[in-house]
Amino acid sequence: MKPSLPVRSPAVLLIVLLTGLLSFNSCRVVLVDSYDAKIAEQIVETSKEVDRFYLTMLEHEDRSYAAYSDRYIDIEVELNSLLSKNAARKHNEDTKAICERTLTMWQEYKAKHKADGQISDANVKLNRTFMLDQLNALQQAENGKQ
């Protein structure tokens, strides 16, 4: 006796084919750029600079924008550098987006401090937390390429 195929109905065959087709379509290859140790190190160094910047602010009573404007510029230069390096890499849209968001927020924090002239402990702590979280996300994105 020959074994018979369990699929005899056209409806069952159609369901099996559609399920297979949907499964195949849900699989895709996502290309990402390779890991770059120099960029990873720059992210670490920039994180340290940002951390030092905000911790220094918390230690000093003079929180005027003028007292910190040079450091704002130094860190913005580093963030611009990270953005340009990541923008030049192929298959790197997610990391580039993190860089853009980080730079945009840095510029907004700088502009607010400049407009207000001063910055409170609460804003220093919030800004520090956000910036370090963003740089951590950037580091994780780079490490994920290893």
d(CA 78, CA 43): 9
The residue ranking higher by pLDDT, 65 or 35, is: 65
Q: Going by C-beta distance under 8 Å and a sequence separation of 6 or more, which residues neighbour residue 139?
A: 40, 43, 44, 47
Which residue ranges make up each domain of the chain? 37-143
pLDDT tens-place string over residues 54-113: 999 999 999 999 999 999 999 999 999 999 999 999 888 999 999 999 999 999 999 999
pLDDT tens-place string over residues 39-48: 999 999 999 9
- Which CATH number does 37-143 carry? 1.20.120
The angle formed by the CA atoms of residues 26, 30 and 31, to the nearest 5 degrees, is 165
- Residue 105: is it exposed, middle or buried by C-beta count within 10 angstroms (0-12/13-18/19+)? middle
The pTM for the full model equals 0.78
Percent of the chain surpassing pLDDT 90: 73
Q: What is the pLDDT of residue 70?
A: 98
The closest of 125, 134, 145 to 55, measured between CA atoms, is 125
Long-range contacts of 139-145 (CB under 8 A, 24+ apart): 139/40, 139/43, 139/44, 139/47, 141/94, 141/95, 141/98, 142/35, 142/36, 142/39, 142/40, 142/43, 142/95, 143/35, 143/40, 144/32, 145/32, 145/33, 145/34, 145/35, 145/36
Say yes or no to pLDDT of 6 above 70.
Answer: no
Say yes or no to pLDDT of 22 above 80.
Answer: no
